[in-house]
Structure 1
Amino acid sequence: MPRPKKDVADRRDNRVTVYLSDSEHAALKDVAEREERSMTQVLTQALRDWLMRLLEPPESLRKARMEKIMEEQSLTVRGYMCSRGHVWWVDWIEPMDPRRCPMCGSQENLRKTWSGTVKRGI
């Protein structure tokens, strides 16, 4: 059964409909209650987190990330090194360690080297 039509004044432009099974709906409801947030907020945050973890994000997302980084005065990062000596950093809120080196694609012997706050120079 389709959802009822909304008034044009109340309608938003960027709507998404998500179809969940009963168990998925119950799990989402439990998480929303535990975090004291609406189910929409939980889904939106999960989608944002997933987009930030993409290894090859779309160009629009890459541009948005770079603009955000350029406006930041400080950033907390974790440094990594691959077996070939490539060094890179990821934002500390990244929920998992990187799976491969962004320079050469190596998945072997990825080591965490450093973590801390980087501040914009004067």
Structure 2
Amino acid sequence: MDQAAADRAREAINRVGQVISIRRMTKTTPQTAVSRADIKAAVRNYTPEELVNGVTAGMRLITVSKLDLAAAGFPNPPIKGDRIYLGDALAIPTTIDTVDPDHREYQGCYEIRTTGN
């Protein structure tokens, strides 16, 4: 990770991103959050042209800053099964399918693919 690039990516996400709540849940029922971070993230839906190789309608691509996660005390990296709630008023629950720690590693970010409402 390049610190200057990570700082720029973090600033960009905080400038144009939306608030999400990422939560690590217990494995037992009823599930409760054992860790939570409310941070900004860049969130986008996949385009119809991108709906290939396991990507389906309703999936989202979420980019989060490792620096923001660490500052909020969330355990890095996020893992499959963690939940991300989009928005603040009427939070939309999604579940992490994959986390790509390498694609934006230079910028200090994770690319996360989620499914859900």
TM-score (norm 1): 0.31
| Normalised TM-score (structure 2) | 0.32
More helix, by proportion: 1
Q: Which structure is higher in strand share?
A: 2
Task: Determine which structure has more spread, i.e. the larger CA radius of gyration.
Answer: 1
If asked which structure has higher relative contact order (CA below 8 Å, sep 6+), I would say 2
